[in-house]
């Protein structure tokens, strides 16, 4: 059964709602009688003085000089940067400034990240609880070498680091979720969705013995060549998705799907440490500066803080913290209960009675299939996967490509640099000048990349700007160069050419620029 990629009619936030929401996040003014200024991810930050804030603003301003590298540009993660290895372990190193004692926690977290979970009941009590339906048996099997996943290739089936998110429009009488209640109280109208009543929030293509998998994702591609300047050309691969062999009855007629490959893991702790106000300073939902770019903040519900927070993680920025991102992946991808998502049956729905009633890894003295200590270690590991050093920053072709990147307008969404919070007890991420090349906001990327599936305040054409650090090492680490949320792009150039919506003008400049400038642009991106 094939589903359309885009369903029109999902509303954007109103101008007044966006302005009010920005004020709320920046702590400038409350919205409504019950609203409070936003708490940042880290609640114990050291406030910046006015002088320090002014210095940071100067340091993080985009450069206008391209004759030489900028100071500290070689180290995109500040003191947490590590040497750029030449093997497949380049994304699997701990923060460069981590202490010996904390490196042990990193290694323990790595062990849990790689752990292969088994079905219940099992003699290996610390490792059972898999599924009963699932997408992977370990975190590592999706986040290959802590890098990017990819779609199935050749004779492979769909069981490789990619799955389909699922949802259906919420009925008018459906109970409001926490985030919907909050947004409604602020007068913010967003599309309401729910997990599919039978198949849940994502298609589970694997199952333990005695249970049926939910179905199999099938992908076909239509290829089309497009002309570039100077007689060059490129090929675009347009995917179509089918759900084959549904294991629990017919699929919903109004099912919304969104294909997702596993993103790379480096630098997550530094992203989490960026002050929310610095990210929101780039938001311009009404394009008041007239540059055609209208970044919007995602709003996510924090299960830990029990309040709305700035979404930072995931293809549509659906999670506010690394801990919640990790916990939701344990529950949804592997079927492992944890303190944030305690359901032992993972993403199973009440319509899957056998899954709900099946044996699970909790019970007796074991409350969760991965406990608080284990989740904390995996979170620490994910927070401290290091960003490798830049390569060839002083190469003339790289510098020329950097100038092309800036002057083409790419930095309107791919904001080059930030300074992280001062953080007590978290020295690895504290007060670092970092270069992720992202604004971490939602942008309309046009109908070509639309999935038609809203998430939070994001509509069916919006995606979070992904950070670019490490993009040039994808082939080395993962053995492929597949990019974008569904891995459709076979190269960095194809990923650029898929940009539409707010990025259409910049994309067209890439098509029209001299071939030498285009090659230099790619060379710069490969150096990141």
Per residue in 279-318, pLDDT tens?
Answer: 999 999 988 988 899 999 999 999 999 999 999 999 999 9
Residue 123 lies in a domain: yes
* Confidence band, pLDDT 50/70/90 cuts, at residue 485: very high
* Confidence band, pLDDT 50/70/90 cuts, at residue 508: very high
Residue 2 lies in a domain: no
Asked whether the predicted pLDDT for residue 6 surpasses 50, the reply is no
* Confidence band, pLDDT 50/70/90 cuts, at residue 249: very high
Asked whether the predicted pLDDT for residue 330 surpasses 50, the reply is yes
Give the pLDDT score at 29: 30
Residue 257 three-state SS: strand
Residue 256 lies in a domain: yes
* Confidence band, pLDDT 50/70/90 cuts, at residue 39: low
Residue 9 lies in a domain: no
Asked whether the predicted pLDDT for residue 141 surpasses 50, the reply is yes
Residue 185 lies in a domain: yes
Residue 206 three-state SS: strand
Distance between CA atoms of 36 and 17, rounded to whole angstroms? Answer: 16
Output the CA angle 441-447-451, nearest 5 degrees. Answer: 70
Residue 7 lies in a domain: no
Q: Which two tokens stand for residue 11?
A: 């509303």
Tell me what the pLDDT averaged over the chain comes to. 90
Cβ partners under 8 Å of residue 162, min gap 6: 149, 150, 151, 152, 217, 259, 260, 261, 262, 486, 487
Residue 281 lies in a domain: yes
Residue 93 lies in a domain: yes
Give the pLDDT score at 156: 56
Domain containing 469 equals: 15-526
What integer is the mean pLDDT of 202-219? 95
Give the pLDDT score at 356: 93
Which residues on adjacent β-strands are paired with residue 221?
239
What total number of domains does the chain contain? 1
Q: What is the DSSP string of 216-244?
A: EEEEEEEEEEEE-GGG-EEEEEEEEEEEE
Do 311 and 298 touch, CB atoms closer than 8 A? yes
**Residue of 461, 457, 486 lying closest to 193 (CA atoms):** 457
* Confidence band, pLDDT 50/70/90 cuts, at residue 380: very high
Q: What is the DSSP string of 495-512?
A: HHHT--GGGHHHHHHHHH
Do 284 and 295 touch, CB atoms closer than 8 A? yes
Do 484 and 258 touch, CB atoms closer than 8 A? no
Asked whether the predicted pLDDT for residue 22 surpasses 50, the reply is no
Asked whether the predicted pLDDT for residue 347 surpasses 80, the reply is yes
Give the pLDDT score at 365: 74
């Amino acid at each position: 059964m094939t589903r359309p990629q885009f369903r029109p009619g999902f509303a954007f936030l109103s101008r007044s709602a966006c302005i009010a929401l920005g004020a709320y996040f920046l702590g400038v003014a409350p919205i409504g009688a019950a609203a409070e200024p936003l708490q940042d991810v880290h609640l114990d930050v050291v406030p910046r003085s006015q002088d320090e804030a002014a210095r940071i603003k100067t340091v993080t301003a985009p450069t206008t000089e391209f004759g030489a590298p900028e100071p500290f540009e070689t180290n995109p993660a500040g003191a947490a940067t590590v040497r750029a290895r030449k093997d497949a372990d380049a994304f699997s190193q701990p923060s460069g400034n981590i202490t010996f004692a904390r490196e042990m926690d990193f290694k323990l977290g790595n062990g849990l990240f790689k752990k292969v979970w088994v079905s219940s009941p099992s003699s290996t009590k610390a490792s059972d609880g898999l599924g009963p339906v699932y997408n992977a048996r370990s975190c590592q099997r999706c986040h290959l070498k802590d890098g990017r996943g990819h779609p199935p290739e050749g004779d492979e089936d769909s069981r490789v680091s990619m799955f389909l998110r699922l949802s259906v429009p919420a009925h008018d009488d459906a109970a409001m979720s926490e985030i919907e209640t909050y947004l409604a109280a602020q007068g913010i109208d967003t599309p309401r969705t729910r997990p599919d009543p039978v198949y849940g929030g994502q298609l589970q293509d694997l199952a333990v013995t005695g249970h049926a998998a939910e179905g199999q994702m099938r992908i076909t591609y239509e290829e089309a060549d497009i002309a570039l300047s100077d007689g060059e050309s490129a090929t675009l691969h347009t995917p179509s998705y089918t759900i084959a062999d549904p294991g629990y009855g017919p699929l919903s007629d109004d099912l919304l799907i969104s294909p997702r490959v596993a993103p790379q893991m480096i630098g997550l702790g530094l992203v989490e440490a960026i002050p929310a106000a610095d990210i929101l300073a780039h938001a311009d939902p009404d394009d008041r500066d007239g540059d055609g770019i209208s970044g919007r903040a995602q709003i996510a519900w924090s299960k830990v803080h029990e309040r709305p927070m700035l979404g930072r993680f995931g293809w549509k920025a659906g999670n506010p913290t690394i801990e919640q991102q990790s916990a939701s992946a344990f529950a949804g991808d592997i079927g492992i209960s944890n303190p944030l998502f305690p359901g032992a049956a993972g993403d199973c729905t009440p319509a899957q009675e056998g899954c709900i009633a099946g044996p699970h890894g909790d019970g007796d003295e074991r409350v969760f299939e991965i406990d608080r200590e284990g989740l904390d270690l995996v979170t620490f590991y994910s927070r401290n996967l290091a960003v490798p050093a830049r390569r060839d920053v002083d190469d003339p072709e790289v510098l020329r490509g950097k100038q092309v990147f800036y002057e083409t307008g790419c930095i309107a969404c791919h904001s080059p640099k930030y300074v992280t919070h001062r953080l007590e007890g978290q020295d690895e991420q504290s007060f670092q000048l970092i270069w992720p090349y992202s604004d971490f906001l939602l942008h309309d990327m046009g109908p070509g990349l639309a999935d038609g599936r809203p998430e939070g305040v994001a509509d069916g054409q919006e995606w979070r700007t992904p950070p670019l650090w490490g993009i040039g090492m994808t082939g080395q680490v993962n053995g492929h160069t597949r990019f974008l949320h569904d891995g459709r792009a076979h190269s960095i150039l194809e990923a650029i050419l898929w940009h539409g919506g707010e990025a259409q003008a910049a994309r067209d400049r890439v098509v029209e620029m001299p071939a030498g400038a285009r090659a230099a642009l790619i060379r710069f991106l490969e150096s990141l």
